[in-house]
Each structure stands twice: as C-alpha cells, then as structure tokens.
Amino acid sequence: MASIAPVLERADANLPQSLERLFDLVRIKSISTDPAYKAECRKAAEWLVAELQALGFEASVRDTPGHPMVVAHHQAATANAPHLLFYGHYDVQPVDPLNLWEAPPFEPAVREIAPGRKVLTGRGTSDDKGQLMTFVEAVRAYKEARGALPCRITILFEGEEESGSHSLKPFLEANAAELKADYALICDTGMWDRETPAISAGLRGLVGEEIVVRAADRDLHSGLFGGAAANPIHILTGILAGLHDETGRVTLDNFYDGVEETPAEIKASWEKLGRTAENFLGEVGLSIPAGETGRSVLELTWARPTAEVNGIVGGYTGEGFKTVIAAEASAKVSFRLVGNQDPAKVRESFRAYVRSKIPADCSVEFHEHGASPAIHLPYDSELLTRAKAALSQEWPKPAIVIGMGGSIPIVGDFQKMLGMESLLVGFGLADDRIHSPNEKYELQSFHKGIRSWIRILDALA
Amino acid sequence: MASIAPVLERADANLPQSLERLFDLVRIKSISTDPAYKAECRKAAEWLVAELQALGFEASVRDTPGHPMVVAHHQAATANAPHLLFYGHYDVQPVDPLNLWEAPPFEPAVREIAPGRKVLTGRGTSDDKGQLMTFVEAVRAYKEARGALPCRITILFEGEEESGSHSLKPFLEANAAELKADYALICDTGMWDRETPAISAGLRGLVGEEIVVRAADRDLHSGLFGGAAANPIHILTGILAGLHDETGRVTLDNFYDGVEETPAEIKASWEKLGRTAENFLGEVGLSIPAGETGRSVLELTWARPTAEVNGIVGGYTGEGFKTVIAAEASAKVSFRLVGNQDPAKVRESFRAYVRSKIPADCSVEFHEHGASPAIHLPYDSELLTRAKAALSQEWPKPAIVIGMGGSIPIVGDFQKMLGMESLLVGFGLADDRIHSPNEKYELQSFHKGIRSWIRILDALA
C-alpha cells in the first residue's frame, strides 16, 4: 500500500487555498430557516457542486420541496475498495442578535486568540461548513497527490439540517439505491478536547409514554373521603417511585434485556477523561450522581438506559391550598435506551408494571409519545477500530470512543433506511459557539481535520 | 313559652325570597385562596353586613390582614336568654376544572333532579353560603313573626375558611371579649342521610403542608443529563410513596401518638348505620377502601388519621412531550388528625422525614398551610341533648350523633380561646359535591334547615 505522506504533504501545502475556499463558502448566507435566504441556500449548493465537479465528481444539485441536496459520486482507484457515503450540511443557523458579533458573521477571518492558537471566525465555520470542507479538502489532496481516491465516495450535503430536515427522509427513500454505501461518514460532531479526537459510537434511543391514573369519578373532599377513597396521586407516586430500586436500577421486567456492560478498556479510557461528577454536574448546580450507583457520570449518560419522569400533575396546584382528593393524576415518562433494548418491549413492560399497580376500582390510560431504538456502533467493529487508529496517529492524544446521551436522527435513518453503519467523527470544540454569535472553528481543527480524513480514508481502503 | 308555629309559617312563606337572597350571595365569586378574587370576598362580606343590618343587627365588616370578617350582634327578647355565637364562612373553593360544570358555577339555579326533589346548584350553595343562610333566614322569620329573638345572638362570618383561616386566631384573640358567648353554633356539616339529621361530635384535625423540591439550577435536557442528574420528581414521588406502608398506615415517626382505638360500643353503633364500603364509595365510582386495612369506611373517615397528597406538579405538563428534567417539583400534602395528635409534632415529623430523603446537593422548601387539632364533644351535654330533640321534631327520622372526617378548626379555637362548647349542625348531604364541580344543596336542606334553626333557638332559649 502506498504511503500517505505525499497526500498529507499536499494537504499542508494546500492549506492557504483550502482556507480561501472555505471562506468563499462561509460568505454565502445559507440560513435555511429564513425564507429570505432561499437563493443563498441554492447558491451554496451550486458552489459545492462546482467544487466537486472540479475534483472529478459526478455532482449535481438535486431539488427537494425545501432547499436542494447536493449529491456527488466518485469511483475508487480499485474496484474492490469500500464505498463510503459522506454526509454534511451546508445550511447555517440565523445570526441574530447581530450586535453581539465582534465581526460580521459572513465575513470570515483568521484570528489569533492566544499565542499560536488561531481560529476561523464566522457563521458556519464550525457548524457545518468548516467540518464538511475538511473532507472535501482531504479528497482534493488525494486527487492532486495520487490522481485517484482510495475509496469509492458518495457525498450527500443537506441544506435543511438547521430547520428540521423535512426533505431528508423522503429524499433518502426516493434515492436509496443511489445513496446506499458500505458505511456512512458523518462530520457534525466534536472532539473531546483540543488534543483528543473522538468517535461517537453510541446514541441513546427513546421511548415516551404518558399515563393517566383515574380513581373516583369526581374530585373528592379529603375530609369526607380521606382514608377511605383511592387517591390517584398516591397510586401514581407509588408507581413512579417503584420504577427504580435503591441502587438506581430500573425495576421493570426484562428492562435490561439487550443492555451490555461497557467493555473495561472503554470505561478505562473514559475515566482518563477527567469528567467527574463534580465538574459535569457542577455546571448545573449539582454534585452527586443520581442514577445507578457505582457508575461514572459518563457511563450513566452515554452507556446506561434510564427511566425519567419528565412531568407530573394532579390535584390542586394553584395558589394556596385545597383539601381535595383528585379524580385523576398523570405523568409523562421517558426511557433512554442503549444497546439492543427493544422500544416496543420496554413500553409493554412499563405498561404491564403500571397495570399491576392499579387497584381494581381504578383505571389507567396510556398515550404513546414516540419510540426509537439506540444506535450503537459495536466497540470492536472494523470501521471503528480502523478510524480510531487513524485519528490517534494524527492528534497529540489517542482517539477515544464516546457516547452521546441525545440523538442525531440521520444516524438512525441511515441505519433503518439504507442499512448502513455510521462513523461519527468531527473536529468541533465545546466552545465553538455554534448556533450563537461569534462562531469559530480552530485552524487546527480544520488543518488536522483534513489530515484526519486522509488517514481515515487510507485506513478504510 | 310562645308557640313557634307562626315563626315556622313565616319561614315557609318567605322561602321564595330566601332563595333569591341566597342566590345573590352565591353570585359573588368569593374564592378566598385566589388573590384575583380579593374584591369579591369583600363584596360578599359587605353584602352580609347589609342583610344583617336590615334585620336589626349591629353589623360591620372587620378588616384583617386577609379577607374581612363579618361581626354582628342582636339582643334577645329577655335579658336572661342565652348568648349564642353563630359561625359560618362566606368564602368558597376554586371552581376548576370549569369544563366539568354543567352550568356556570356562579349562576345559581333551582333544578328538579328527581320527581319532587329540587336542588340549588352553584359553588357555595352547600359549602357554606346555603348553610349559613339557613340561620340568617331563621333569624329573619323570628324578627318578622315576633319582632324579637329568643336568644342573644352574635354572628361571626369568616372569609378564609377555604384558604387556611390565617386571620381567624388573631381575630378571636383580639376580639375575645366581644365574641365570647355561652355556646357556639356552627353550620358547616351534614345530615346522615336525606331523612336523618345529624350532630357532629367528633372532628378530625388538619395539618396542611406544601413542599418544593429543588435539584439543578435550571431545567435540563434528559438526553444530556438523564441518568446522572437528580430528578426532583423522582425525589418527590419517592417521598410521597413512602408516606404509607403496605397496610396503609402512615409511616412518619410518632405519627400515631395520641391516637386511640375507638371504643367497641361506638364502633358497634356505627356498624348499625349500614354504611358499607360499597355504598359509601360506590357513590363516587369506587368500591375498595384505600386506607388502613381491616377498618370500616366510617372508622377510616371518622376516627383514623390520614396523610393525603392534595396536589402535585413538576416538569412539562402541557400537550405532547418534552424530554426535560425539571429543576423543581412540588406537592401539597395534608394530614387529618384524630384524638390528641399534636399538629405541630406531626408537621415536624413530616418535615424531618422529607429532609431525610433530600440528597445533599438538592434542597427542599416548606410552606405551612394551617394546623388544627382534632375535636371531640361530650356525648351527654345539655346543648347536644336539646338540639337533638329539636332536630328530631323537624325531620322524618330522629337525629343521630356522628363523627366527622373533615376539619373545622374553629371548633378547637372556640374551645381553647373562648372557652365555648360548639354545636355542629348542618344540612349538607354526602353527594353535595362540595369542593367539586356541580356543587348543589337540596332545596329541602335549605327549607328544613331554616325551620331546624327556628326549633333549636327555641329549644336553647
């Protein structure tokens, strides 16, 4: 296999021009949520198509009911190379309040914010124009250094990520055959810190459920009926309090089916990150982990399922006091899922548990509020192992595999609709102020991001 | 002693106008717990003062830090007649949920609900405007028929009974000399059934308490923090669920101090009343006693203490779903007391229990909402014996002496602060839906209630 040193060197040499190209893209005001910028969104799509065509891609602007998609294809040097789908989005967030920007948001610049630490400023430099251009520039370096690409590459750039991605699913459905690849690469996430690259391997799933417990057919006076009539708030609080045992584990039957323990070496790598209960919870005024005992906050939020009550109401909740026994009480409950937990089975187990706690003369009603399984890239997958090694070569510290408590819907869409595993790699930092005034992207993120993709493409080839 | 027949006849003749006057009072939206109705509370007090002045009382609106009191005095025909203090309250409960009312709560009406059975509908028709007006109209009949009253009468109408009676004790203390009488008459209770009048000899006490549990300093995203951050709804539901053990007993330390078992012969007399779990709870759509196991519904509601959650709220309770971990959650909790339970000790025990369940990085805030001990009147008093005979003359069946689940704190205050025994007589029925939508008062309760007071005043003169 050919050395990638010349490719990396080419990327280094290209950097000034790479920056100019990124800045050209940032200057296009592609705010997707504001109809006033509709033409600018199309302009960004057209700009990207032109760039990709110049790199030898078969690229086109593809209309949708909203802002257009960019789709581009390029063959690999060898027929048996893997096929990768790279996803990014060219649309950006609105820029108000404009007066808080230190420089105009669509006039990108390089600023030195500390000795030797340069940042690229402007809306979209980090989210997601700077990130997606790391991949485009990596491809450019390959083409210029070798005249060919190590993998077959399909590119999908969306223009509605910041405004609900309404056209995405229909577009994936209508173009499934064209977009299906071996793996997806998604560049819309962050580093752990300035020295430590990260691969997001887990995204928790979600089951939402609302329950309404009904007792008497009317509100009752607690003097007349108290002590004899069922109180639906008591029934409900009993149910909710019983969801966890004294160690914080969820008590539902079969709840942990499909949940696997995080491998020791992954946990060990998380422990080295220095995220303690004190510094994680301290930011929101807390200090003591509240979930399962004996697990770190990173494990609790990245790798463990939860049952959380998101809302509860019953009886008199206004000013003052009312000695009433309510006729009904309700709660909204959500479950974060990991591993192979089955959303439908979790919901059914919850409902069976709740029903078992309802006295014979009372009743319960359930309302479903969404269900999605967890997304989990196996820790030992080839994709992850190779990408991790590639990133570790580029950065001062080895790459780590992290979880994410929330969700990135396209990951699930790729999995469900196109049967593809996704690799989530990005070079943003927590202080990039995406969605806020004075968005920035580290010059190092851009430069080493390009070099990282060169290494990853090589590793996957 | 003059016959009371002309007085009773006058009351009968007055009935249409008596109803009009009651309806005028019911139309005043005197919801004491809601500050928005402050002016309406004053309006109700002023309306009553005007009515009493028209009847020859020396009456006035008396300011308090809360809603005003009404105090009125009238001499008896003879100097050696007993002095009676009549107490009632002009304030009413809130009317939510408004959509469950079949007619607007403050637009009273007469409805025939069965052949020959008419009811007065509207908030306060039973609790307590209809009840207090039975006495005012009895007084009116005496004045109109005889030009004089058989007893010296002082009237005290309160405007904060439904919101904790915060001004009552200070007012009684400051005006003890003016308010002290031989006996107090309190009309805020019910009949045994539609044919059987009742005198309430036992009243449960009440401790009202509101708790607010606080965790993070802001609402949190349950994806990012779920499983690691304290959820105040979990803490609160755990606290509330722990208030009872599996036999329905309240778990607070020393909670049952001062609670004595009801004598066997009293329990036996209650058993003869035929009140079963099925017929008592069946009226409100329930069938299974929910309190301490192994006790009858009459014992549970008349002679046993309780802990009830009257309201709970936290997190997102609107339409749809929001994956939030709330910053705080709160509940309103009340305790019904019996025997010699000490309200202050019960409150302290509850607070100690709650504090013991609050994690070190969370906090709790307590708000006091009233406290009164239980009351028990001697079964063999002169007052009770005479009133029982008078009531038995008016109604189809003889009067009985019963216990009461509710709390009328003023009975204790009258006893402790003014050294007065209280006679608790009222004409409400169990299905009056006081504190609930569609409150009603039987026309018969109103009419025969007026006649009952005429007989009782005569009996006590």
Res. B380: pLDDT tops 80: no
Residue A230 within a domain: yes
pLDDT at A160: 95
Look at B315 and A319 and tell me if their CB atoms are within 8 Å: no
- Out of B33, B215, B362, closest to residue A322 by CB: B33
| Burial group, residue A445, by CB count within 10 angstroms (0-12, 13-18, 19+) | buried
Same domain, A221 and A187: no
Same domain, B244 and B334: yes
Q: To which residue do tokens 């300093």 refer? A: B217
For B147, which DSSP code? S
pLDDT at B368: 96
Alpha-carbon distance A325 to nearest alpha carbon in chain B (angstroms): 6
Containing B244, the helix (H) or strand (E) segment is none
Q: Average pLDDT for residues A369-389, to the nearest whole number?
A: 88
Q: Average pLDDT for residues B207-213, to the nearest whole number?
A: 97
Res. B164: pLDDT tops 90: no
- Out of A226, A277, A369, closest to residue B321 by CB: A369
What Cα–Cα distance (Å) separates residue A79 from each residue in A82, A144, B225, B249? 9, 20, 46, 76
As a whole number, the mean pLDDT across chain A is 94
Containing B452, the helix (H) or strand (E) segment is helix B443-460
Task: Write the Ramachandran bin of B27: left for phi over 0, alpha for psi from -120 to 50, otherwise beta.
Answer: alpha
Residue in A92, A87, A88 with CA at minimum distance from that of residue A41: A92
Boundary (domain end) residue, out of A340, A372, A404: A372
The share of chain B scoring above pLDDT 90, in percent, equals: 80
Same domain, A319 and A175: no
Query: Tell me, what amino acid is at A316?
Result: Y
**Sorting pLDDT into bands at 50, 70 and 90, what band is A354?**
very high
pLDDT at B1: 59
Same domain, A363 and A426: no
Look at A227 and B291 and tell me if their CB atoms are within 8 Å: yes
- Out of B236, B301, B311, closest to residue A227 by CB: B301
**Sorting pLDDT into bands at 50, 70 and 90, what band is B268?**
confident
Same domain, B150 and B252: no
Q: Average pLDDT for residues B270-289, to the nearest whole number?
A: 90
Provide the Cα torsion B412, B413, B417, B420; round to 10°: -60
pLDDT at B379: 65
**Sorting pLDDT into bands at 50, 70 and 90, what band is B148?**
very high
pLDDT at B312: 98
Give the integer Cα–Cα distance in Å for A440 and A454: 23
Q: What is the distance in angstroms between the CA of the first residue and the CA of the last residue of chain A? A: 10
Alpha-carbon distance B437 to nearest alpha carbon in chain A (angstroms): 8
Res. A317: pLDDT tops 70: yes
Q: Average pLDDT for residues B339-367, to the nearest whole number?
A: 97
Contacts of B46 (CB under 8 A, 6+ apart): B61
Same domain, A234 and A187: no
Beta carbons within 10 angstroms of residue B115's beta carbon: 5
Residue in B93, B84, B53 with CA at minimum distance from that of residue B70: B53
Give the integer Cα–Cα distance in Å for B39 and B270: 44
Res. B72: pLDDT tops 80: yes
Q: Average pLDDT for residues A218-226, to the nearest whole number?
A: 90
What Cα–Cα distance (Å) separates residue B390 from each residue in A424, B398, B399? 86, 9, 9
What does the pLDDT look like over A127-170, one tens digit per residue?
999 999 999 999 999 999 999 999 999 999 999 998 888 999 99
Cβ atoms B78, B65 nearer than 8 A: no
Same domain, A247 and A354: yes
Same domain, A172 and A46: yes
pLDDT at B273: 85
Q: Average pLDDT for residues A88-115, to the nearest whole number?
A: 94
Residue B151 within a domain: yes
pLDDT at A1: 60
CB proximity under 8 Å: B 85-114 to A: 93-94, 96, 100
pLDDT at B421: 87
What CATH number is attached to the domain comprising B241?
3.30.70.360
Q: Is B207 on the interface with A (CB under 8 A)?
A: no
Residue B364 within a domain: yes
Give the integer Cα–Cα distance in Å for B433 and B437: 7
Alpha-carbon distance A279 to nearest alpha carbon in chain B (angstroms): 12
Look at B216 and A286 and tell me if their CB atoms are within 8 Å: yes
Helices (H), A164-286: 168-174, 176-179, 222-225, 232-241, 264-271, 277-282
Residue B290 within a domain: no
Helices B443-460 & B382-394 angle (0-180, nearest 10): 130
Residue B341 within a domain: yes
Structure tokens at A48: 């990207």
For B372, which DSSP code? E
CB proximity under 8 Å: A 290-329 to B: 290-292, 297, 300-301, 304-306, 308-326, 329
Q: Strands, DSSP E only, in B323-438?
A: 324-325, 328-337, 363-372, 375-376, 400-404, 421-424
Domain with B252, as residue range(s), is 205-259+305-372
What CATH number is attached to the domain comprising A9?
3.40.630.10
As a whole number, the mean pLDDT across chain B is 94
Look at B223 and A326 and tell me if their CB atoms are within 8 Å: no
Q: Average pLDDT for residues A317-329, to the nearest whole number?
A: 94
Same domain, B378 and B321: no
**DSSP notation for A308-331:** EEEEEEEE--SSS---EE-SEEEE
**DSSP notation for A119-169:** EEESTTTTTTHHHHHHHHHHHHHHHHHHSS-SSEEEEEEES-GGGT-TTHH
Boundary (domain end) residue, out of B321, B343, B372: B372
Query: Tell me, what amino acid is at A195?
Result: E
Same domain, B186 and B216: no
Look at A219 and B288 and tell me if their CB atoms are within 8 Å: no
Residue A271 within a domain: no
Q: Average pLDDT for residues B406-428, to the nearest whole number?
A: 87
Alpha-carbon distance B148 to nearest alpha carbon in chain A (angstroms): 38
Alpha-carbon distance A76 to nearest alpha carbon in chain B (angstroms): 39
Alpha-carbon distance A294 to nearest alpha carbon in chain B (angstroms): 11
**Sorting pLDDT into bands at 50, 70 and 90, what band is B342?**
very high
Residue B298 within a domain: no
Residue A131 within a domain: yes
For B263, which DSSP code? P
Look at A215 and B286 and tell me if their CB atoms are within 8 Å: yes
| Burial group, residue A275, by CB count within 10 angstroms (0-12, 13-18, 19+) | middle
Cis preceding linkage at B413, omega within 30: no
Same domain, B28 and B82: yes
Boundary (domain end) residue, out of B372, B389, B419: B372
Give the integer Cα–Cα distance in Å for A59 and A56: 9
What Cα–Cα distance (Å) separates residue A389 from each residue in A185, A336, A394? 16, 30, 9
Look at B226 and A361 and tell me if their CB atoms are within 8 Å: no
Res. B51: pLDDT tops 70: yes
Interface test with A, best of B128, B160, B225 (most A CBs within 10 A): B225
Query: Tell me, what amino acid is at B427?
Result: F
In a 3-state reduction of DSSP, which class is residue A283? coil
Look at B312 and A311 and tell me if their CB atoms are within 8 Å: no
Q: Average pLDDT for residues B129-152, to the nearest whole number?
A: 97
Look at B310 and A244 and tell me if their CB atoms are within 8 Å: no
Please, how many CA atoms are within 13 Å of residue A268, restricted to the half-sphere of its CB? 3
Same domain, B355 and B378: no
Containing A446, the helix (H) or strand (E) segment is helix A443-460
For B431, which DSSP code? G
**Which chain B residue shows the shortest CA-CA distance from A311?**
B315
**Which chain B residue shows the shortest CA-CA distance from A328?**
B311
Q: Is A352 on the interface with B (CB under 8 A)?
A: no
Res. B153: pLDDT tops 70: yes
Give the integer Cα–Cα distance in Å for A338 and B168: 58
Name the domain count of chain A. Answer: 2
CB proximity under 8 Å: A 364-383 to B: 369-370
Partners of A240 on chain B (C-beta within 8 Å) are 233-234, 237, 241
Provide the Cα torsion A411, A417, A421, A427; round to 10°: -30
CB proximity under 8 Å: A 146-205 to B: 204
